[in-house]
Amino acid sequence: METSIIIAGFGGQGVLFGGQLLAYAGMDQGRHVTWIPSYGPEMRGGTAHCTVIIADTPIGAPIVAQSDAAIVLNHPSFEKYESLVKPGGLLVVNSSIVTAVSARTDIETVYVPANALAEAVGTSKMLNVAAVGALLARSNVLPVTAVAQALRDHLPADKHHLIEANLQVLQAGFRAAMPASMENT
């Protein structure tokens, strides 16, 4: 199985870290991964996106024309990447910022108030982790426990004081996106 994921938003929303977190978790699970970042010259406040591919077999090419999933953290990213999700794919939308609604009926769209979930734990700077949690609730790319462990193992030392809060936000995003039919299982 191979899954391609695009994460996009403004610089400063943790777009690149969200992708790194998935890539680390995939590597830690013994999977093949690629992580390709892209950001404007101004970084914070400019546009940023990254592409992550997680696969059971070697990855032929890291370029993705249409992704299996996309996490969009702002409106410009919604406008750009909604159409690039493959039919049958998943679109995770940060409904704290993006008020648009997808018109596509051939993909699954989940709206998660990522900023609000992160702020409830302490800071909106962890909104990326809430969105990753939502992705994990609706896809089988990686278990949430693997991403939680990657947070513990790979968060830089100067950010270790944020591990517990990030774990709480990851779980909050996961719970917020859990399909209603599975909430009590």
What is the rounded average pLDDT of the residues 31-54? Answer: 83
Residue 46: the pLDDT is 66
CA-based Rg of the chain, rounded to a whole angstrom? Answer: 15
- With pLDDT > 70 as the criterion, what percentage of the chain qualifies? 94
What is the rounded average pLDDT of the residues 27-46? Answer: 82
Residue 41: the pLDDT is 61
Lowest mean pLDDT among 93-97, 121-125, 164-168: 121-125
What is the rounded average pLDDT of the residues 33-37? Answer: 96
> Which amino acid does the sequence have at 176?
A
Residue 39: the pLDDT is 73
Is the model's pLDDT at 22 over the cut of 90?
yes
In whole numbers, what is the pLDDT of the chain averaged over residues? 92
Judge: domain 2-179, CATH 3.30.200.20. Answer: no
What is the rounded average pLDDT of the residues 84-103? Answer: 97
Residue 176: the pLDDT is 96
Angle value at C-alpha 29, between 129 and 63, nearest 5 degrees = 70
Is the model's pLDDT at 184 over the cut of 50?
no
Residue 85: the pLDDT is 98
What is the rounded average pLDDT of the residues 136-161? Answer: 94
What is the rounded average pLDDT of the residues 108-128? Answer: 94
Residue the block writes with tokens 């299982």: 185
Cβ contacts of residue 52 below 8 Å, gap of 6+? 4, 5, 6, 7, 19, 22, 23, 26, 33, 34, 35, 36
> Which amino acid does the sequence have at 10?
F
Token pair, residue 144, equals 């949430």
